[in-house]
Amino acid sequence: MLKDPEDRTFRLGVIGAGAMGQGIVQVALQGGVSVILFDAREGGAESGRAGVFARLERLVEKGKFAGDDLSKAEDNFTAAGQLSDFADCDAIVEAVFEDLEVKQNLFAELEDIVSDDCILASNTSSILIASIARACRNRGRIAGLHFFNPVPLMRLVEVIKGPETRDDVIKALCKLGERLGRTPVVAKDAPGFLVNHGGRAYTTESMRLLHEKVATPAEIDAIMRDCCGFRMGPCELMDLTGVDVNYPVSRIIYEGYDDDPRLKTSFPHLALLSAGNFGRKTGTGNFTYDEKGQRTDTASGDFTTESLPAAKLVLPDPDAALADLVKGLGIATIVDDDGESPILVALIGEDCSTYAARTGTDHCRFVGIDMLCATKRITLMQSPGADRAALEQVAAALLAAGHQVTAIEDSPGFVAQRMCAMVANLGCEMAQIGLATPEEIDLAMRLGLGYPHGPLELAEKLGAKKIVQILEKIQDITGEDRYRPSLWLRRRAQLGLPVHTPGRAA
């Protein structure tokens, strides 16, 4: 019978004293759990102990951890000299490097040491639990317990249920996660689990935008921060995690899902990897950095102009939000083209070229504006061959009114619409294939990646029908199945149902 993780005598083993292993040890000790740490390197466990307690002592100095609790943590910690020291553990989490054979051999060795009631969990971020459990006799007690780096700061832990993992093991690991101060989310055993899978859209669509020369990294990041509320833009986030980490993960997940084009990355991603420009750790990535990881380049997402604001604007399509914006700018508007004023249209999913060809609009004076994701920052674009003066006159009016402006190349769905649609669509596809409940998917993305909204919440916020419209128009314009809407999203949009509506009646 499994021991209750809330039992004061519960004993946790951690294998691997690197950054992840140390983080797991730290939160376990902060949760009052007795921990034993092993590392195959000579002196590795003691070195890991030093790192953990140095951080705990700093927390005591800051008043965030009691001195008495530090003494208890010291009593609760043991450095193991060999794996046989884990014989009395109630659960073990391995946090060694990502090598399937190493993990299989480790788990097979542990099975000869621990009791049948000891849970064996892997902190893997990319290897299927089924693959690890395949080499074990008692597969029902094998599961994933995937923490995020830095563990003490990241509140989420993914509890991964393998094909043969018992329900009582999953329940116990959820309770253990809660005792360690984390928020557990149960996920299906699949490439990338929840967070690494769900995070692909934010990364890969930014790479596609760079590939198409739609915008610069600074412009993409500014739009996603200011217009969509993300704490970091995709390019700076990629530099933070490291291209040497996120590119291989992108490939693993793409190949794991049979080369689904919705998960495919683009050449700029590979180019960074091939050049060794991994981001902050190398000083160069999408941006440049100093030794402390601070940006040194001056790239900006802001468009500036010396032009005078437009005297009049042609608004050929009825759009209340756009009309209110222009009214606030103090600019006269006309519906019928006067042959000289800039033509301003709020596009949803289309690019300027397609709209102009479809409607017969003069593409030279035509300016597209993204009103779906308009905030203090507003995105403008034009078709090839357009008169730049028309865009500059519109931008000048917006800048004079206190807006920030980003001007991009012609793109179906601008930047924000494309990015948000892809994030929302991937979240809906994760719900469709049952990786977790819609609510758990949203929770995982908010806690694991710091998204302002979970992907299904984002679809609800912008409107499921609008997201489908954006995706279908981009798919039609580009001819790519990359933009095909998830059936989960399409069906709920068709029926007017909330995006979180479950797949079958309870």
Give 10-residue mean pLDDT values along the chain (506 residues).
95 96 98 97 95 96 93 96 96 94 96 97 94 95 96 96 97 98 96 95 98 98 98 96 94 96 97 98 97 94 97 94 95 93 98 98 97 97 98 98 98 98 98 96 96 97 98 98 98 98 75
Of residues 196, 206, 383, 411, which has the active-site annotation?
A: 196
DSSP 3-state of 324: helix
Task: Report H helices in 277-339.
Answer: 320-329
pTM: 0.94
Of residues 76, 123, 146, 341, which has the active-site annotation?
A: 146
CB 150 within 8 A of CB 27: no
pLDDT at 504: 75
Q: Judging by DSSP bridges, how do beta strands 377-381 and 77-79 pair with one another?
A: unpaired
CB 471 within 8 A of CB 484: yes
Q: How far apart are the first and last CA of the chain?
A: 32
Q: Positive or negative CA dihedral for 395, 401, 405, 409?
A: negative
Task: Report H helices in 433-463.
Answer: 438-449, 455-462
Tell me how far apart the alpha carbons of residues 412 and 381 are, in angstroms, rounded to a whole number.
Answer: 10
| Active site annotation includes 403 | no
CATH code, 312-408? 3.40.50.720
- Which residue reads 């694991």 in tokens? 448
Of residues 34, 122, 123, 125, which has the active-site annotation?
A: 125
Q: Answer whether 194-214+217-295+416-451+464-470+480-506 and 312-408 agree in fold.
A: no
pLDDT at 506: 47
| Active site annotation includes 196 | yes
| Active site annotation includes 146 | yes
CB 287 within 8 A of CB 220: no
Which architecture does CATH list for 11-189? 3-Layer(aba) Sandwich (3.40)
- Which residue reads 């939160």 in tokens? 27
pLDDT at 126: 85
Of residues 158, 392, 429, 457, which has the active-site annotation?
A: 158
- Which residues does 356 contact at the CB level (< 8 Å), separation at least 6? 362, 363, 366, 383
Domain-wise residue ranges, the chain: 11-189, 194-214+217-295+416-451+464-470+480-506, 312-408
Q: Which CATH class is domain 194-214+217-295+416-451+464-470+480-506?
A: mainly alpha
CB 314 within 8 A of CB 343: yes
- Which residue reads 């469709």 in tokens? 432
